[in-house]
Amino acid sequence: GAVVSQHPSWVICKSGTSVKIECRSLDFQATTMFWYRQFPKQSLMLMATSNEGSKATYEQGVEKDKFLINHASLTLSTLTVTSAHPEDSSFYICSADPVTSYEQYFGPGTRLTVT
C-alpha cells in the first residue's frame, strides 16, 4: 500500500527557534502533499497544500511566512515552523495521495512541543 513517513516523530524546541519536519512518500510519487495540524481533543485542520516545483497554497488564517513549505521532489515535502512559540505546539501530520488513487494516506505525525 501507499506509505508515508515523517521525521522526526517528536521534537521539543525553545521559543524563538525554527523546526523542520520532513514528509516522504516511500513507495509512490506525489505531486501534491498536504500538511495538517491537530490540537488536543480537536480534529485535523488543513494548513496548506504542497505542490512539487511550485509555491504552496495556504488555508485562510495560516501564516505563510511562519510555516514555510518546500516540495523539492516528487517524494519529499518539508514544513519549517519559524520562530516557534508555545501556541505552535501541536501534532503536525502530512498526507499524500498516489496519482492512481484519490485516497490520502497519512504519515505518522510529528508532535511538536515549544517551551
Partner 1 sequence: QKEVEQNSGPLSVPEGAIASLNCTYSDRGSQSFFWYRQYSGKSPELIMSIYSNGDKEDGRFTAQLNKASQYVSLLIRDSQPSDSATYLCAVKDSGGGADGLTFGKGTHLIIQP
C-alpha pair distances (Å), 104 with each of 12, 35, 69 = 28, 11, 19
Can you give the length of the chain in residues? 115
Site for partner 1 in 54-93 (CB under 8 A): 59, 91, 93
CA 94 to chain centre: 4
Site for partner 1 in 2-31 (CB under 8 A): 31
Q: How far is the CB of 7 from partner 1 (least distance, A)?
A: 13
Query: Does residue 106 touch partner 1 according to CB under 8 A?
Result: yes
Of 45, 62, 74, 76, the one binding partner 1 by CB under 8 A: 45
52 and 31 Cβ atoms separated by less than 8 Å: yes
Q: How far is the CB of 30 from partner 1 (least distance, A)?
A: 8
